[in-house]
A = this chain, B = another copy of it.
Amino acid sequence: MYENMIVIDRDAPESLQKQIRRQLAIGIVNRQYPVHRPLPSIRQLSTELSVSVTTVALAYEALKQDGFVQARDRSGFYVNPDALTDPGHTLKRDALGDVAVPGSGIDYRRFFSGRSFNLERVVKPSDCLVRYRYPFVCGLIDPSFFPITSWRECVRDSVNVVEVANWATDYSAIDDEMLIEQLIQRVLAKRGIVAHPDEVLVTVGGQQAIYLAVKLLLSAGDTIGVEDPGYPDVINMARIEGIDVLRLPVDREGLVISGDMGHCQCLFVTPSHQFPTTVTMPLDRKRELLEFTKKSGQFVIEDDYEADISFNMTPPPALKSLDRWGNVIYAGGLSKSLLQGLRMGYLVADREFIREARALRHHMLRHPPVNNQRCVALFLQRGYFDRYVAMLTKIYKQRCDVMHESLERHFPGASEKPEYGGAIVWLRLPEEADAGLLRELVEPEGVFFETGGFTFADERNNRNHLRLGYSVIDKSFIPEGIGRIANALPKALVRR
């Protein structure tokens, strides 16, 4: 019965006693042996494994010493419950002594050298809501606004006999029909986009939508145009895929249309709400961009970042909504409002393009979880999403006003109110300022913000930029937070 759990290798350098001891210890820690029943007896193991009784007895004695087993009179050895507290615990693992740590023999660093995917990226502090009094963190949502009751209702109604029966479908080939319908009616329509169901693909967040588009449109050696400053993750994606990046200048109206763009097979743009400057591209320039790319036969990936949080009744339409030729691939997601943790994204493009994207998605992960698709569909259909977004928008708009006021007081002219909406302000400090240094200075005072230099090709000469998110900071804390940043600024000026 235990022959498969304990495997004896007579050619191994390790002694038989240690082999048994080690494997029993692993089994115990992994709860493979019931706690209330005796472990295999010495005689039993000795017979099954064809080793001497002494060998097994010595192994058990060592396990007793190490605290893995307890001896009980007449009934043999039992698992020591203390050994089970936390199998993942480092101390426990170290107590296993002889267990070779997998990987100890391989220099992964050497193996991966030159093509590490562990590229610089923004990781938000996991405890920022409790750690900072003034968390100007970007891209997180205040969980206390989330309509838990409505969401639970949708969860409940999406997990029943009828719905679960649908899960036994191969969702590689089709997405949840109700979700697609709701995305078209309630989400894409607001961006001025008309789409057929077969022109929409559900993705694991907006990030996957972008990744699929990049991978479909470009091969190694091709060039993608990315705004400067722009979204660092797309530059990392390009690097991962061996795609060259050409940085394209941005002014107060977003991406500057220039002949340089012609050197790219594809452009990655954030026209309605530029990342990270938040400026909105005027309609004329959007048309000019479409005209240019159509003439040069280029594709455009439009990342409609933070699109659901718009301060205007009629937000500036998405580039995709003006696309009559079909060269705009639209990537979006509900993650900036519907809690980023759910990872609900979508790709909108010509059906033939979507067919390819679906095939690529299949090979990468088959499909996004189907239970969440139906739950979000209900959340949209019942109007909970619209109501929730309306509430968030109202709160953000108030906070944005306070932000603007505070920033104008302390840093006049250094920032612009985000025209589109969203929950982030872009701040340009005097050139001598170092935002990284500034952050270190204000961190002990409970202030957190994101530096902006890493969004530029020339990070070194743009250390004076920073991003201030206001999605998780209460409006009453904003003036003091901005004040603390302003107070610390003089100490964060460095000579260039």
Contact = CB atoms under 8 A, between A and B. Distances in A.
A368 B167 CA distance: 18
A259 interface: no
Contacts of A112: 216, 356
A436 interface: no
A90 B164 contact: no
A326 B103 contact: yes
Interface string A152-194: 1001100111001111111111100000110011101110101
Interface string A131-149: 0000000001111101010
Given A155-B159, A366-B343, A123 B4 contact: no
Contact of A205 (B167, B356, B366): B366
Interface residues of A, number: 135
Contacts of A124: 169-170
Given A168-B339, A180-B88, A189-B87, A326 B118 contact: no
A359 B108 CA distance: 15
A141 B169 CA distance: 9
A155 B353 CA distance: 36
A313 B350 contact: no
Given A126-B173, A164-B146, A190 B32 contact: yes
Nearest to A322: B7
B208 A129 contact: no
A174 B148 CA distance: 24
B141 A160 contact: no
A121 interface: yes
B164 A117 contact: no
A164 B180 contact: no
Interface in A231-276: 233, 236-237, 240, 242
Given A88-B181, A211-B364, A103 B164 contact: no
A71 B255 CA distance: 43
A356 B117 CA distance: 6
B317 A342 contact: no
Contact of A194 (B30, B116, B190): B30
A106 B365 contact: no
Contacts of A351: 103
Given A170-B140, A356-B116, A359-B118, A192 B5 contact: yes
Contacts of A199: 102
A283 B7 contact: yes
Interface in A86-112: 86-88, 90, 93, 96, 99-106, 108-109, 112
A326 B102 contact: yes
A106 B4 contact: no
30 contacts: A5-B192, A30-B192, A31-B185, A87-B184, A88-B180, A88-B195, A102-B199, A102-B320, A103-B349, A104-B325, A105-B324, A105-B327, A106-B327, A108-B352, A116-B356, A121-B359, A126-B169, A126-B170, A129-B168, A143-B167, A148-B161, A148-B164, A152-B159, A167-B341, A170-B340, A204-B366, A204-B368, A211-B365, A233-B363, A341-B369
Given A116-B356, A146-B167, A168-B339, 16 more contacts: A4-B315, A30-B184, A102-B349, A102-B350, A105-B294, A117-B356, A140-B168, A142-B168, A143-B161, A143-B164, A167-B341, A205-B366, A207-B363, A342-B369, A342-B371, A372-B372
> Lowest 9 CB-CB distances: which A-B pairs, in order?
A103-B350, A30-B189, A103-B326, A341-B370, A167-B341, A4-B314, A102-B326, A108-B352, A208-B365
